[in-house]
Structure 1
Amino acid sequence: MKITVMGLGYIGLPTAITLAEAGFEVCGFDVNEKTIDTLQSGKIHIVEPGLQQAFDQAVAHGHLQFSSKLAASDVFYIAVPTPFFQDETGAHKADLKFVESAGRMAGGLLEPDNLVILESTVPPRTSEMLARVLSEESGIPMDKIHVAHCPERVIPGNMMYELKNNDRIVGARTPEAAEMAAAIYEKVLEKGVVHKTDDLTAEMCKLTENTFRDVNIAYANELSVICDKMGIDVFELIKLANCHPRVNILTPGVGVGGHCIAVDPWFIYEQFPAEAKVILAARERNENKPRFVAEKVVGSLKKVTDTVGVLGLSYKPDVDDLRESPSIELCHILKEKGVNFIACEPFAPMGELDGIRNVPFDELLAKADYLVVTLGHTLFKENKERIAQKPYYDCVGLME
């Protein structure tokens, strides 16, 4: 069986490697020529523990190749970005142009017995849209096209384990598609179980999982704001509350980032604004947290000319993913307020980064008058004593 993975980003590339490890003949496809050139040269373009080694083995065994030209395949995996945008009214809308484009490309090569698997996280009824696009391009009746939605369930930093061991949801438009997709995942999984359902339920399942986390984090962030007004330590409070056997409050931070938790709740709210009131309140709380932190920092500076050092720009510890990062939003707000600042993100290139000066850790400690700890990178954990020598604001409880 030949499988083509369309989109070789944070999800597509690890997925392609995992499929190749399972023995499938895999072609990784991407429209970005630079990405293909990098992979064909033997290097991966994202940071993920164990990924380079797995990549090397898959390529050496001859099961994995890459191309910027799409070819016929038994299975097409679509793992492309699904960002959101704000329309002229300020409403958040899902941008599905990449899914539609991938569908039209695959549709031009589709045969009746082929399978299309959508792994991208999408709003409800996107699989239906994809089937329609595939039908338009291929001429195959829409009810005869095999489309399955199998949303990824991995966390950066542990992808290679979770791709093989987390349960997978297979939501399909036809019984044949469900069986075809399940057979692939069952060959990949080592401990996880495949759960079959319809495509609409699968779409909503992924959004539900990430929205649950967003709401929980919003509660923690709201507690941090309330505790600030009360003058108590929110991290101690949560630690004590979590001693209760049925309480598990997450850790507050500078906000919520990444392409999943910060985005997916909007996909539900977009279609159900009258009903999704808790979801909206959680999103607003998390999106407003960087401004709260910025105001606390400004109020803590001894002089307006003090330089603030922001420790961390990625969206979570020990990864290079900057998408929807609240730490970057914090920097932009500090800039808006006229604050001098520099940042240290050890997993990103040094120099200019989205209008932010990114410097090595030692340089930041030498030049900053005040520190803001926004992430629990291992580098920062190992240097807590050095960080504590400067005045600081700890967003994540690292210095506890």
Structure 2
Amino acid sequence: MVSDSELKVVVLGLGYIGLPTAAVIARTGAQVLGIDVSEHVVETVNSGKVHIEEVDLDGLVSGVVARGHLRAATQIEPADVFVIAVPTPFVDDHAPDIGYVLQAATTIATVLAPGNVVILESTSPVGTTEKVRDLLAGLRPDLRIPGRTSDTADVAIAYCPERVLPGRILVELIDNDRVIGGITPRCARKALAFYRRFVRGACITTSARAAEMTKLTENAFRDVNIAFANELSLVADQMGVDVWEVIRLANRHPRVNILSPGPGVGGHCIAVDPWFLVSAAPEQTPLIRTARQVNDGKVAHVIESAAALIEAHPGAPVACLGLAFKANIDDFRESPAVKVALALARRFGDRVRIVEPYTDGLPAAFAGTAARLIDLDDAIESCPLMVVLVDHEIFKSVPLDERAAKQVYDTRGIWPDQPPVSTAPRDVRLAS
């Protein structure tokens, strides 16, 4: 492969994974072009700024853009390596939608040349990389495609899923181990050579299908374990027991490590990816399906619990603390906090105030409601009721003497010294 300074890389999709990935690659000296359908995103990146919140990303993007190693566009150009990092949502019946992936592959086909490497990073159902291969084979019959010819292929096609934590993306893109699955072993080796340029963690090669299932397995594992914690919280509510104390005590056992419950599960990974396994093998995945139902059902439980607290204090304003799907980020995708706050805003109107330090305005879903965004100090002064939905560090900093007299429903356990409040939730069935 060519030297770092000569290497040309195209990253398709400049979202929460694509932009950090493009910036990290550009830092090695490679010439990186980021492709996005949004003119706003392209203009923002080309000005050296970022459109997403991630630790240290703004400084990195500013630097690599200034040095001419990263630029953005809406139109693709020829390159040595193409990295697909576009969304893979699911449709209403939880079936995965790989339309964005296939569209990205179609775009790549217009400039694909012998010696190129095509890598899919988007979390995808098992077999998606092969579909990318088949699509490229159909669109470019002039090229020898791996797995479709007995001769040495002209291009390499591989799958390498991201496995990073929001808030630590730049660190984990470099330090975390990577699983690289090739359509053929030769494809895997060519992709391995690319990742070795910027990854310090171990890079393990395997088949594309094994790599695809590995990513889904990682997220399903976490979802199942979170579901246990969330289900335990429902039982504790029923029994009148402090679930946080129970978990804290149970975790003193040397072989027990229960996760923390919350208002549900959000983000584009854990809340979505397990359905890819369920969709592919519905008869073999009752546990994974149930975990998804438990975690989705927890949202309804929290809504009814919070509503019971609000109804018990007629006229009192309530502060919903947090909208992001996890602490200290601005990512609202599939966020249970958004679902809870929106349901309360629709039910209780202008009594609902939202505190979210990682946004300047409420998401579009709140249009038409009377809810309004306020800062934390205003909430402490004006809201006798509080519903904690996200464990942002700034929320943890509020001392007991500023909230002792308030009625608090804490779904994250950030204030263990807060006087307990009975929310008396109505019976709520699990989501189906």
> How does the TM-score come out when normalised to structure 1?
0.95
Contact 1:164 1:189 (C-alpha < 8 Å) held by counterparts: yes
Q: Any idea what the Cα deviations from partners look like across 1:6-43, whole Å, max 9, x if unmatched?
A: 10000000000111112322111112111001111121
Contact 2:46 2:65 (8 Å CA) reproduced: no
Instruction: Work out the CA distance in 2 between the residues paired with 1:77 and 1:215.
Output: 30
Runs of 5+ unmatched residues, structure 1: none
Q: Distance in 2 between matches of 1:364 and 1:351?
A: 16
Cα deviation, residue 349, structure 1: 1.6
Q: Which shifted more, 19-28 or 359-368?
A: 359-368
Which amino acid in 1 is paired with 2:252?
A: C
Percent sequence identity is 42
> How far does residue 308 in structure 1 lie from its aligned partner after superposition?
2.1
Does residue 116 in structure 1 map to residue 125 in structure 2? Answer: no
Partner SS, residue 94 of structure 1: coil
Structure 2: distance between partners of 1:268 and 1:304: 45
Which residue number corresponds to residue 248 of structure 2? 239
DSSP 3-state at the match of 1:282: helix
Are 1:20 and 2:22 an aligned pair?
no
Residues 230-289 of structure 1, C-alpha deviations (whole Å, 9 max, x = no match): 111101111111111111110000000000000000010011111100001100000011
3-state SS of 2:283 partner:
coil
Q: 2:10 aligns with which of 4, 24, 30?
A: 4
Q: Quote how far apart the aligned CAs of 1:141 are.
A: 4.2
Partner of 2:159: 149
Count, aligned residues = 395
What residue in structure 1 maps to residue 421 of structure 2?
A: none
Kept after mapping to 1: 8 A contact 2:277/2:285: yes
In structure 1, give the amino acid aligned to 2:245.
E
Which of 23, 34, 47 is matched with 2:53 structurally? Answer: 47
Superposition CA RMSD, Å: 1.5
CA drift at 1:85 = 1.5
Aligned counterpart for 1:102 among listed residues 97, 104, 123: 104
Q: CA deviation at 1:137?
A: 2.0
Out of 370, 392, 395, the residue aligned to residue 408 of structure 2 is 392
Q: CA 1:68 to 1:166, structure 2 compared with 1: closer, same or farther past 3 Å?
A: same
Contact (CA 8 Å) 1:350, 1:359: kept in 2 or not? no
| Offset at residue 335 of structure 1 (A) | 4.0
TM-score (norm 2): 0.88
- Cα deviation for residue 352 of structure 1 reads 5.8
Contact 1:11–1:79 (Cα < 8 Å) also in 2:
yes
Measured in 2, the distance between the counterparts of 1:363 and 1:82 equals 39
* 8 Å contact from structure 2 (residues 164, 172) kept in 1: yes
Answer whether contact 2:185 2:206 (CA < 8 A) is retained: no
Question: What's 2:424 paired with?
Answer: none
SS at match of 1:35: helix
SS at match of 2:197: helix
Gaps of 5+ in 2: 1-6, 417-432
Match of 1:76 in 2: 82
Q: Aligned residue for 1:227?
A: 236
Partner of 1:255: 264
Deviations 1:105-144 (A, max 9, x none): 0011111321100010001101011111112222234423
Aligned partner (choices 339, 348, 351) of residue 359 of structure 2: 348
State how 1:1-400 maps to structure 2 within 5 Å. 1-86=7-92, 91-139=93-141, 140-142=143-145, 143=148, 144=153, 145-190=155-200, 192-301=201-310, 302-335=312-345, 337-338=347-348, 340-351=351-362, 353-355=364-366, 357-385=372-400, 386-400=402-416
Structure 1 residues 350 and 366: CA distance shift in structure 2, 3 A:
farther
- TM-superposed CA distance for 1:336, in Å, is 5.0
Alpha-carbon distance change, 42 to 179 in structure 1, aligned in 2, over 3 angstroms: same
Q: Secondary structure at the match of 1:254?
A: coil
Q: Residues 351 and 267 of structure 1: is their aligned pair in 2 closer, same or farther, counting only changes over 3 Å? A: closer
Q: Deviations over 1:286-306 (max 9, x none)?
A: 001111112112222333433
Contact 2:227 2:292 in 1 (8 A): yes
Q: Which amino acid aligns with 1:369?
A: P
3-state DSSP of counterpart to 2:372: strand
Structure 2: how far apart are the matches of 1:284 and 1:237? 23
For residues 324 and 371 of structure 1, what CA distance do their matches in structure 2 show? Answer: 22
SS state at 2:91 partner: strand
* Cα 1:352–1:256 shift into 2, 3 Å: closer
Contact 2:25 2:32 in 1 (8 A): yes
Q: Secondary structure at the match of 1:372?
A: strand
Q: Hey, what's the Cα distance between the residues in 1 that align with 2:263 and 2:40?
A: 33
1:194-220: per-residue Cα shift (whole Å, max 9, x none)? 000000000000000011000000000
Distance apart, 1:57 and its partner CA: 2.2
Over residues 285-342 of structure 1, what are the superposed CA-to-partner deviations in whole Å (9 max), with x where a residue is unaligned? 0001111112112222333433221100000000000000001111233245446422
The one-letter code of the counterpart of 1:345 is E
SS at 1:201 equivalent = helix
